[in-house]
Structure 1
């Protein structure tokens, strides 16, 4: 379960902006949309990135129209690429980062799978990806991330089936649950892979060992929900949702800073808001591995397009939106 992977994932798969050259704010593109206030092409510095590679509006990203930045996570790829002695900030480093980031997301998921005790097949894949990421930069730039997802997907599927066995969970993969009323829902052992849960009411829901790989949780209300043992839940998914101090989160993840610390009457996003947002292109930030059958937040190059569906396998192909950097 997600909580079980806390030790295994460790700091190597956690973003450390202090040791990164601002790669997410330079290498990646985003398109003006509901989650980005402006356009920015790949390779161009964000106008809010300082000379010290710090975000000048970090404390007010959401209020400034850059929710996509607040949601994004590089899974530690930024500092790993920055530390490569043969690379300096420029096109080659940016290209390596755009491949390393989705590979690091796969490492996160595989490490979690191994930590369940049912993921023996994950270990050789982890070793192979680690060798690729540490290997020749030119070879790394040419890695087929889509092919790697195809290899990792069956391993995660098998782990999910073993962990959820006997719990009687429903199969709701790819379900359109935008704005669904699932308050206090008994979703133990349910597979919600690739499900659209945008603005869904999940207050008090029991998600024990529920498979959330690639589920779109933007604006979902998770107040009081039990996510402690949810499978394949990622930090971007949590960051995109609403919760509070009564929400139980996996030990491997961090409670989002925008969540109130105690019980909160925080607003619940209405379904019509989720469906009515403009469809701008943006990166998958809520579980963008593409292994759930839908990217998690749709196929994008920055982030935005609330409610936009994506039925193509794929998702995070290295063209994700920028991440959060401390000011």
Structure 2
């Protein structure tokens, strides 16, 4: 029997895979350049972060936003049996590659769990559960099986199901998918892929709107109601969510929230937490 994995990071049981396998370039989010497959200079001997409590003021805001959806501890303790890449250097490249795949699989599981719980259609709920079970089984396989996974096909299957659930839920708020018009406007709450950087969307009823993959960087969403708004892949960096109601928004993740700005009056889904910098 395949158990659904925990989709929350447990850094104490991970071999700092996010700090080693992944690379980043110097930017507003990272104070330095770090090539992929190299340890971060801030990593301690026990795989912890030496500046964890000071990441933002030290210029590593991007580290505070990243979330592996629990992939790190699964790869470290289950796939590779608790033996680190440091203790077994020959496993390094394989472990890092597996981590990147499992992180994607766990992110899919995060979205499918919500789709299964939110849909009104028993058939869609069953389909989400079945697909989730397949992905969980894959994520808990051995390294070879994981690396042989056709991730692109799984992404397509998951996305199709998520969109179907989204359309169902948003339609219950009178929203329908429409195309962008020649004048650049988006009617019926359709903003999929739209450039809304810095847009003023405060104090609005945005229920059922489609913000899928939209650029909401620095957008003002203060005191707006985003119930059943599809935020799959939306870029919320620096978005102002003070007083906004996202408690029933669709497909919201912790990285999106951590990248945004809010306050104690912002309402979030139960499985998300308010970032420390909001207070």
TM-score (norm 1): 0.74
Find 1:76's aligned residue among 67, 70, 82: 70
Runs of 4+ in structure 1 deviating by more than 3 angstroms, as ranges, are: 85-88
Query: How far apart are the structure 2 equivalents of 1:26 and 1:121?
Result: 36
In structure 2, what is the equivalent of residue 178 of structure 1?
A: 197
Which of 39, 47, 50 aligns to 1:56? It is: 50
SS of structure 2 residue aligned to 1:238: helix
- Give the superposed CA RMSD: 1.5
User: Which structure: greater helix fraction?
Assistant: 2
8 Å CA contact 2:30–2:62 kept in 1: the answer is yes
> Does residue 160 of structure 2 align to residue 158 of structure 1?
no
Q: 5+ residue gaps in structure 2?
A: 86-91, 176-188
Deviation string, structure 1 residues 79-117 (Cα, Å, up to 9, x no partner): 111112456421111111011001100000001111114
Alignment deviations for residues 153-205 of structure 1 (CA, whole Å, 9 cap, x no partner)? 11001111111223123111111110001111110011110111000000001
Counting matched residue pairs gives: 252
State the distance in 2 between where 1:193 and 1:245 align: 25
**Unaligned stretches of 5+ residues in structure 1:** 1-8, 261-327
1:136 & 1:13 partners in 2: Cα distance?
A: 19
Query: Which residue in 2 is equivalent to 1:211?
Result: 230
Which protein has greater RCO, CA pairs closer than 8 Å, 6+ apart?
1
> Residues 1-327 of structure 1: matches in 2 within 5 Å?
12-84=6-78, 85-86=80-81, 88-89=84-85, 90-118=92-120, 119-169=125-175, 170-260=189-279
* C-alpha distance in structure 2 between counterparts of 1:120 and 1:146, whole Å: 22
Task: Give me the whole-angstrom Cα distance separating, in 1, the residues matched to 2:74 and 2:139.
Answer: 9
Q: TM-score, normalised by structure 2?
A: 0.87
| CA distance in 1: counterparts of 2:29 and 2:214, whole angstroms | 21
CA distance in 2, matches of 1:19, 1:40: 23
Q: Which structure is larger by alpha-carbon Rg, 1 or 2?
A: 2
